[in-house]
Amino acid sequence: MSNKTHEIIDIALKTVIAASAVVATIIFGLMSRQHDDIKLLTELIYSEQKAKSFAGISLAKLYVQQERISPEIFGTFVAYINNEPTKQNLADAANEAASFLAASDNDIKTTLAQISENMPVRIVPHALSHADSFTVSSIIRDLKRSGKELGSSINLFPLEKVNVTPNKNQIRCYNQQTCGFYGPKLVQHLNNSGFQFNLIDKSSDYAEATNLNPKLLEVWVGKEAN
């Protein structure tokens, strides 16, 4: 092999090594930036300050659009917000952002749909502030055991005391799939325990809504139950 050939090979190897070093530096830089991005978003979204949390979800939406974080990471934040009782003031904004991103990219839509599918069913009980405590406690006790009947994990939120309720017990649903699958199962579960609940399907009224948790079920203890 001639000296010239050796020189060519040597130059080629040095070029490959240099290029590899550049690529490695770029990859490391991107990974480092993503780590910093995720850290910042976590600090903002998990903050107890409402303004910081809202800023965090807005920034997360922007980072997905800029491909600085993956849809999976964004979806994890949305899932956390929807299933954390202290973050419900942020849930509408998070779901709105998720719907916006899903509408703009089919891959993002698929990813967020898969994350949503694996989220627990969210059950939010409502009762009058002066409702019979024994009846309400009995219903909530049965709600805690409803996961097996639903075939899903559940996230039972604290009781919301309200000033107005329907006359009869209701379970309200807002998503077509949830109304067709989880809603009837929860009605059956509670009715088998001796209560009388009716399913109120509001999915057609909220078909265009983009800010609701799709797996939300509201349990309303009616006036006649007190």
- Percent of the chain's residues with pLDDT above 90: 49
Is residue 10 located within the same domain as residue 111? yes
pLDDT for the residue 14: 46
Is residue 137 located within the same domain as residue 87? no
What mean pLDDT is predicted for residues 11-39?
54
Looking at the 3D structure of the chain, how many domains does it have? 2
Tens of pLDDT along 29-76? 445 667 889 999 999 998 989 899 999 999 999 999 999 998 989 988
Is residue 11 located within the same domain as residue 112? yes
Is residue 109 located within the same domain as residue 126? no
Is residue 191 located within the same domain as residue 131? yes
Is residue 22 located within the same domain as residue 65? yes
Is residue 87 located within the same domain as residue 16? yes
Q: For residue 191, what is the domain's CATH number?
A: 3.30.70
Tens of pLDDT along 105-155? 888 888 888 888 888 899 999 999 888 889 999 999 999 999 999 998 898
Q: In angstroms, rounded to a whole number, what is the distance separating the alpha carbons of residues 206 and 37?
A: 34
**Of 136, 138, 156, 139, whose CA–CA distance to 147 is shortest?**
156
Question: Is the pTM value of this prediction over 0.75?
Answer: no
Three-state SS for 67-125 is CCCCHHHHHHHHHHHHCCHHHHHHHHHHHHHHHHHHHHCHHHHHHHHHHHHCCCEEEEE
- Structural domain containing residue 21: 3-116
Is residue 203 located within the same domain as residue 130? yes
Last residue of a domain, one of 92, 116, 140: 116
Is residue 7 located within the same domain as residue 111? yes
Is residue 89 located within the same domain as residue 14? yes
Q: pLDDT category, 88, cuts 50, 70, 90? A: confident
Is residue 100 located within the same domain as residue 164? no
Q: In angstroms, rounded to a whole number, what is the distance separating the alpha carbons of residues 94 and 116?
A: 13
What mean pLDDT is predicted for residues 161-180?
94
Between the two ends of the chain, the Cα-to-Cα distance in Å is 97
Is residue 133 located within the same domain as residue 167? yes
Last residue of a domain, one of 65, 99, 116: 116
Last residue of a domain, one of 116, 149, 178: 116
